[in-house]
Amino acid sequence: MSFKNVNFEKDGKMVVITINRPKALNALNSETLVEIDSAIDMVAEDEDVLAVILTGAGKSFVAGADISEMKGLNAIEGRKFGILGNKVFRKLEKLEKPVIAAVNGFALGGGCEISMACDIRIASSKAKFGQPESGLGITPGFGGTQRLPRLVGLGMAKELIYTAKIIKADEAFRIGLVNKVVEPEALMDEAKALANTIINNAPIAVKLCKEAINRGIQTDIDTGAAYESEVFGECFATEDQKEGMGAFLEKRDKTFKNK
């Protein structure tokens, strides 16, 4: 399938999804959101893919939801647009494969929000983050009020959202919004190296770790621990558990089969 605003490149066990609408700094209009949704479906259906990198073309990661599209919306249409973005980002968050955001530039509004729906964020030193919505007369609409406080804590999230201030990559790192900051030219190599490290581990275990963490963070610790015991047990029904532990005890290299 070919897209207008999204590049989809498969390289072995990895897929790189690049949001490619550089004239609008990769702002997310409905068309682009629908294409991202389809790209996520393609990854979900491909058993060979074990990790995804999400990035932006040109100098921006994603400069937010498309302001030209939003400007004339009424309340019903605004709600519908918000539901679309939230649906796509939730699908990304629930994708049963690890997703790394390689944040190459502006990650504002919907751009910061899509990065937060990824599992891990690596930022270029040129990246900038923020939720500028209150300065536009709206609230964050694609998950910012929900994921930012979960990532950086209530006080910091409220400050960022109420002030609409834009922060640099090093500040994003300091508050825990990004995992690592690297030089711009090293960004994709760094993201790919991280993806490969994950790919070399047992895919079913990685998938279940993601599910346990994502479910657990939203529930009480007893429910979360019970779920962890479920997925932990499930691992013992896999060939890869026998392989991983066998290889350790036999002091040999392991070969996981995603089975």
What amino acid positions are annotated as catalytic residues? Answer: 113, 133
Nearest to ligand CAA of 113, 228 (CB atom): 113
Tell the smallest beta-carbon distance from residue 90 to ligand CAA (Å).
14
**Alpha-carbon gap, residue 233 to 252, rounded angstroms:** 25
Which neighbouring-strand residues pair with 181? Answer: 123
Written as one letter, the residue type at 57 is A
**Alpha-carbon gap, residue 158 to 137, rounded angstroms:** 16
Nearest to ligand CAA of 136, 247 (CB atom): 136
Residues 44, 95 contacting (CB under 8 angstroms): yes
Nearest to ligand CAA of 24, 199 (CB atom): 24
- Order of strands, edge to edge, in the sheet holding 99-103? 6-11, 14-19, 51-56, 99-103, 120-124, 180-182
Q: State the pairing for strand pair 120-124/99-103.
A: parallel
Nearest to ligand CAA of 126, 207 (CB atom): 126
Tell the smallest beta-carbon distance from residue 137 to ligand CAA (Å).
10
Residues that bind ligand CAA (CB under 6 A): 24-25, 27, 63-68, 85, 106, 108-110, 113, 132-133, 136, 140-142, 144
**Alpha-carbon gap, residue 112 to 176, rounded angstroms:** 13
Tell the smallest beta-carbon distance from residue 68 to ligand CAA (Å).
5
